[in-house]
Amino acid sequence: MKTTASQIAFRYRTQDSATGVTRATAKRLAETLGVDETQVIHMALHELATKFLPQYEADEGALTKTQLNQIKKSAPKPKGGKVLTSLFDLESL
């Protein structure tokens, strides 16, 4: 049976730096977190992914004037009080 493994070679750094860690640091992290070294790597990659990659599908951009007007018409009217701020730039409409 032939399997294709999705693996890469991983080399620890000889010294901890902003771009990598030593195996001793990875072992300390694993021990502290209660997981193995492989899981530490996965956790670090997951953190980077959620920090730098979009977590949602891109939309079509800004709303059109027609869409904004539809929202304004369907929004409930305020019952007294005073509006101090708005979600929309009313000057540009």
**pLDDT tens sequence across 52-93:** 998 888 888 888 999 999 998 998 887 877 767 777 776 765
pTM of the model as a whole: 0.56
Distance CA(24)–CA(91), nearest Å, equals 59
Distance of alpha carbon 24 from alpha carbon 14, whole angstroms = 10
Residue 39 lies in a domain: yes
Q: Is 19 inside a domain boundary?
A: yes
Please report the pLDDT score of residue 92 as a whole number.
Answer: 63
Residue at 41 is within a domain: yes
Average pLDDT, the chain: 88
Domain for residue 14, yes or no?
A: yes
Mean pLDDT across 30-42: 96
Residue 40 domain boundaries: 9-54
Question: What integer pLDDT is reported at residue 28 of this predicted model?
Answer: 97
Residue 86 lies in a domain: no
Give domain status of residue 40, yes or no. Answer: yes
How many domains, in total, are found in the chain?
A: 1
